[in-house]
C-alpha cells in the first residue's frame, strides 16, 4: 500500500511539474500609441519570436497595451504590464522606454526597448557599446547620410531643410543635432522650429514657409501622428515634404520618404529578447542600430505631379514610385 501511495505521489508531482514546465512565457508589450510604423515594429517582433521557436499562445503569451500617445497615461499602461508578472517587457518608443526603465529597473524584470532613436541621449544605456541596468534594445536610428543623399537626388536645387521637432523629447533633440552636423556635407542647411504640443503644428510649420525649400518629418512621437496637419500647411505653399515613414508617402500625403525596415527592427528586438530568455544578461548586450542597407526610398507619383515636378534622371531606375 505504501508503495502504491508513493508511486501515486511521484506520478502526481511529475504531472504538475510537467504542467508548470509547459506554461507559456509571459511577455509584456507597451506601446506609445497605434501608428502604422509602430504597429509594424510590434508585428515584426512577434514574427521574429515565432521564427525563433516561440509560438504565440503555445510557447509565449503577450500582454499588449498603449498610452494613446498621452504621456500621462504611461504609468497606468505600464502598471497593467507589471500586474501580469511578465518574464520580459518590450517598450516601444523613447517615452515608453524611459518610463519603463523607472518602473522595472528595480523589479528584476528585463526590458528590451525598440523604436528608440538614441538610447544614450535618452538615458537608457550608458553607451552604444553596452546595455543599461537590465535593459538593452533596438534603435531606429536612420542612416542620415542616406537620407540626405536621397533628398539631394530628388531635390537637386534645394538648399534649406525645415525641421519641426519637440525640444522636450530626447530623440528629436538628438536627431536635429545630427542633421545640423551632417547637412552641410550634402549642400543643405537646417532650419529648426520647436513644437511643444500638437495644436501648435500649423502655426509653427507656417513660420517655416518662405524660409525653406523642403520640410523633413522626424520619427517624433509628437510630430509624426500629426502629419495631416503639417501637410495641410506645406501644400498651400507648394513645399515638398520628406517623411521618415513610408506610410504618409504611400497615402500620397508627402512627396517622399526614406525609411528603415520597421518590421526588421522588430525582428532585431526579438533576437535580443530570445537571448535574454535563454539566460543572457541585458546589461552586457549593446543596443543595435539598423544597417545602412536596411533602408528604402519611396516617392509619391501623385505628389510629384501636384508639385509640378519630374523625377530626376538620377532616380530613374529607383523602382520607388508609389502610383
Count of other CB atoms within 10 angstroms of residue 89 = 29
Place of cell 532650419: 191
Q: How far apart are CA 109 and CA 102, in angstroms?
A: 12
Strands of 25-31's sheet in order across = 60-66, 25-31, 88-92, 111-116, 135-139
- Domains of the chain, first to last: 22-141+262-284 (3.40.50.2300), 144-260+295-322 (3.40.50.2300)
Q: Pairing between strand 256-260 and 295-300?
A: antiparallel
pLDDT in tens, 107-140: 999 999 999 999 999 999 999 999 999 999 999 9
- Joined grid coordinates for residue 293: 542597407
Q: Pairing between strand 60-66 and 111-116?
A: unpaired
Question: pLDDT over 90 for what percent of the chain?
Answer: 86
Q: How far apart are CA 138 and CA 140, in angstroms?
A: 7
pLDDT in tens, 215-273: 999 999 899 999 999 999 999 999 999 999 999 999 999 999 999 999 999 999 999 99
Give Rg (Cα) of the chain.
23
What pLDDT does residue 21 have? 52
Report angle CA 251, 255, 256 to the nearest 5 degrees: 90
pTM of the model: 0.79
pLDDT in tens, 143-165: 899 999 999 999 999 999 999 99
Neighbouring residues of 254: CB distance < 8 A, sequence distance ≥ 6:
217, 227, 231, 240, 241, 242, 243, 248, 300, 303
| Cβ neighbourhood burial of 236 (10 Å; 0-12, 13-18, 19+) | exposed
Amino acid at each position: 500500500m505504501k508503495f502504491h501511495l508513493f508511486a501515486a505521489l511521484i506520478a502526481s508531482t511529475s504531472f504538475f511539474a510537467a504542467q508548470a514546465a509547459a506554461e507559456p512565457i509571459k511577455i509584456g508589450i507597451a506601446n506609445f500609441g497605434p501608428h502604422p510604423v509602430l504597429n509594424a515594429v510590434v508585428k515584426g517582433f512577434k514574427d521574429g519570436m515565432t521564427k525563433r521557436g516561440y509560438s504565440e499562445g503555445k510557447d509565449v503569451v503577450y500582454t499588449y497595451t498603449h498610452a494613446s500617445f498621452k504621456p500621462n497615461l504611461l504609468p497606468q499602461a505600464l502598471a497593467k504590464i507589471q500586474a501580469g508578472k511578465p518574464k520580459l517587457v518590450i517598450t516601444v518608443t523613447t517615452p515608453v522606454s524611459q518610463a519603463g526603465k523607472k518602473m522595472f529597473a528595480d523589479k528584476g524584470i528585463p526590458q528590451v526597448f525598440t523604436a528608440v532613436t538614441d538610447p544614450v541621449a535618452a538615458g537608457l544605456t550608458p553607451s552604444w557599446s553596452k546595455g543599461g541596468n537590465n535593459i538593452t534594445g533596438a534603435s531606429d536610428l536612420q542612416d542620415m547620410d542616406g537620407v540626405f543623399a536621397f533628398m539631394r537626388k530628388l531635390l537637386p536645387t534645394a538648399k534649406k531643410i525645415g525641421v519641426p521637432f519637440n525640444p522636450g523629447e530626447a530623440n528629436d533633440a538628438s536627431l536635429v543635432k545630427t542633421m545640423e552636423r551632417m547637412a552641410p556635407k550634402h549642400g543643405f542647411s537646417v532650419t529648426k522650429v520647436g513644437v511643444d504640443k500638437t495644436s501648435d503644428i500649423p502655426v509653427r510649420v507656417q513660420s517655416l514657409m518662405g524660409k525653406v525649400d523642403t520640410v523633413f518629418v522626424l520619427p517624433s512621437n509628437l510630430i509624426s501622428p500629426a502629419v495631416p496637419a503639417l501637410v495641410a500647411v506645406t501644400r498651400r505653399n507648394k513645399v515638398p515634404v520628406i517623411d521618415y515613414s513610408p506610410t504618409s508617402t504611400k497615402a500620397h500625403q508627402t512627396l517622399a520618404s526614406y525609411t528603415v525596415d520597421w518590421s526588421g527592427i522588430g525582428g532585431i528586438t526579438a533576437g535580443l529578447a530570445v537571448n535574454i530568455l535563454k539566460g543572457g544578461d541585458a546589461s552586457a548586450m549593446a543596443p543595435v542600430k539598423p544597417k545602412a542597407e536596411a533602408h528604402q526610398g519611396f516617392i509619391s507619383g501623385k505628389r510629384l505631379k501636384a508639385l509640378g515636378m519630374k523625377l530626376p534622371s538620377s532616380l530613374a531606375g529607383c523602382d520607388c514610385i508609389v502610383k
